[in-house]
Amino acid sequence: MVLAGGGTAGHVEPAMAVADALRALDAGVRITALGTARGLETRLVPERGYDLELITPVPLPRKLSADLARLPLRLRRAVRQTRAVLDDVQADVVIGFGGYVAVPAYLAARSVRRGKRVPVVVHEANASAGWANRVGARSAARVLSAVPDPGLGPVEVVGVPVRESITSLDRPALRAEARAFFGFADDARVLLVFGGSQGAQSLNRAVSAAAEELARQGVSVLHAHGPKNTLDLRASAPGDPPYVAVPYLDRMDLAYAAADLAICRSGAMTVAEVSAVGLPAVYVPLPIGNGEQRLNALPVVEAGGGLIVDDRDLTPEFVSGTVAGLLTDQARLTAMTAAATLAGHPDAAQRVAQAALDVAAAARSGRIRR
């Protein structure tokens, strides 16, 4: 199996979740990940124990530039490099997750040096597919997605692959340990705030400015503000519930278990993880791009597992009013937890892995032309 999902965590993490699921389903499977020297995969893939092969990145320039003129040459080089990898590892299937390495993988799979096509399985995590997966879906053996209509034609809805340590998380069972780890009382009302690995300044500003009012209402806060950001927090008064501010959360499992409610962005991986563990959330879509973050959160919100608030509307007043009000409404939080859990897809990684194994079996038996 060759997994093409390098670049950002949103592409690498689903690929690694599927890699783990493949090994669980078939201990003899050989897995190679494709990546580029500039992506997170250079750290994440070796850490998970998988082979990594690097190719030339092929980003699509958004405007007329010298980079756009160099695109054909860069793409040819990347396809040639990828074709060599597929031939060397005797690939049976390419599983693509979008991103810079996916297009070369899809094109290389059409003709490797052995003179055979390598069948492709495409997984689209976002509610609106990017150009890489639009290319791959045209000739893929299976097209899987997180939502019913990401713009790829007929798809099989499986959700977003999430690592097993998250999908198997028992928040109630881990709650006491998690709260003790972060210094919260066992009966605290805990708000988790995070904006991805780099943080989100609008979330940081709104929640930190509401710190005094949150404390007055008895709300504890666990806030991952990003390694390059700082928070301007007032000194805590005696008896105030803790406001724990950290640059980064290494133990997201404990963070999810400690929290009653989250404020977060709504990237595909974030929504998948938060709903998989059944954590109610206030989703604040990134206010740039094509609006896909709002679309990512809609299924969970429509099911009753969260709220969407525009970035410009996330004010200190909203946090101290609406958010704090949610945290003091146990009946509503319980209903939102149940809805979020039902909206999640904890078996997504296994379903993608099984689809790839089925495609490999079909190709070997001649039911898929190679």
Annotated binding-site members for UDP-N-acetyl-alpha-D-glucosamine: 8-10, 126, 163, 197, 293
The CA distance from 101 to 236, in Å, is 48
Residues 6+ apart with CB under 8 A from 318: 206, 309
Beta bridge partners of 191: 221, 261
For 357, phi and psi rounded to 5 degrees? -65, -40
CA distances (Å), origin 275, targets 282, 286, 329: 12, 18, 19
Task: List the binding residues.
Answer: 8-10, 126, 163, 197, 293
Q: 240-245, long-range: CB within 8 Å, 24+ apart, which pairs?
A: 240/215, 241/184, 241/185, 241/188, 241/189, 241/214, 241/215, 242/182, 242/183, 242/184, 242/188, 243/211, 243/214, 243/215, 244/182, 244/183, 244/184, 244/220, 245/208, 245/221
CB atoms within 10 A of CB 165: 11
**DSSP 8-state assignment for residue 37:** T
User: Mind spelling out the 3-state secondary structure of 314-339?
Assistant: CCHHHHHHHHHHHHCCHHHHHHHHHH
The CA distance from 124 to 270, in Å, is 15
Task: Evaluate the CA torsion angle 227, 310, 234, 213 in order and state its sign.
Answer: negative
Structure tokens that stand for 352 in this block: 């993608």
Structure tokens that stand for 312 in this block: 């410009």
SS3 63: coil
Cβ atoms of 189 and 215 closer than 8 Å = no
Quick one: angle between helices 9-25 and 268-276, nearest 10?
50
Determine the residue type at 346. Answer: P
The CA distance from 359 to 354, in Å, is 9
